[in-house]
Structure formats: structure tokens, C-alpha cells
């Protein structure tokens, strides 16, 4: 079965420290990869995407993500966390074949402590 795994339900980090939110996937082919963020009482918002090219992609709010094809991973990173980064983060993959179905991970809640 095709799936996206976010192995950590919650990540806690102190403000100013680097953060990593992990994502691995198991799908056929070479999917498009995305990160979305959900703030309380707000809809899902796009953060960044990997389509092709450089394995390190940069997105909104200082976030970046590293694509690793051999490990089928797409980890989200930020060099210095802010309290305002506290939110729910979703990794998503979109299949390039058989229709543009998108599969989301279960989400990782990030807490940044002041």
C-alpha cells in the first residue's frame, strides 16, 4: 500500500534551536513532495515543494526540506525555530502516474518553547 509516514506525533524544540520534522514515503514512481502547515483554527497552508532538481528546497518562513531519494525521505528543517512556528505539519506526496492522487501523512505537532 502506498503511504506517507511521519514517525513523530510531536516534536518539542527550544526557540532558537534547529528543528527537524521527519517524513518518509512508500509510493510507486517519483512523486511530487510537499509540506503543509496548519495553524489553530486556520486551513492548511502550503509551505514548500520538491518537483525536481536540487535536493534542498527552500520555502516560506525560513523553512527548507531535504529530499533523499535512496531513503525516500523528505525531512522538513529550520535552522532557528520561533515560538510562532508552533503548529501542525503535514507531509504530502502526489503521484505522477495513475492520476494526481495526493497522500498525506498523519501530521506532526511542533511545539517551540520560549
Partner 1 sequence: DTGVSQDPRHKITKRGQNVTFRCDPISEHNRLYWYRQTLGQGPEFLTYFQNEAQLEKSRLLSDRFSAERPKGSFSTLEIQRTEQGDSAMYLCASSLATESQSYNEQFFGPGTRLTVL
Q: Which residues contribute to the site for partner 1 (CB under 8 A)?
A: 4, 32, 34, 36, 42-46, 49, 51, 90, 92, 94, 96, 99-107
- Taking the chain, what is the end-to-end CA distance rounded to the nearest angstrom? 40
CB nearer to partner 1: give 21 or 92.
92
| Minimum CB–partner distance for residue 17 and partner 1 (Å) | 26
What whole-number distance in Å separates Cα of residue 114 and Cα of residue 112?
7
| Minimum CB–partner distance for residue 78 and partner 1 (Å) | 19
Reference 19, options 53, 61, 50; nearest CA is: 61
Amino acid at each position: 500500500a502506498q503511504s506517507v509516514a511521519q514517525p513523530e506525533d510531536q516534536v518539542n524544540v527550544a526557540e532558537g534551536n534547529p528543528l527537524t520534522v521527519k517524513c518518509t514515503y512508500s509510493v510507486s514512481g517519483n512523486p511530487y513532495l510537499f509540506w503543509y502547515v496548519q495553524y489553530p483554527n486556520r486551513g492548511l497552508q502550503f509551505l514548500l515543494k520538491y518537483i525536481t532538481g536540487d535536493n534542498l528546497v527552500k520555502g516560506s518562513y525560513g523553512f527548507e526540506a531535504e529530499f533523499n531519494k535512496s531513503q525516500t525521505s523528505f525531512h522538513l528543517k529550520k535552522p532557528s525555530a520561533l515560538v510562532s512556528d508552533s503548529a501542525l505539519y503535514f507531509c504530502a506526496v502526489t503521484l505522477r502516474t495513475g492520476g494526481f492522487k495526493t497522500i498525506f501523512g498523519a501530521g506532526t505537532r511542533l511545539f517551540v518553547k520560549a
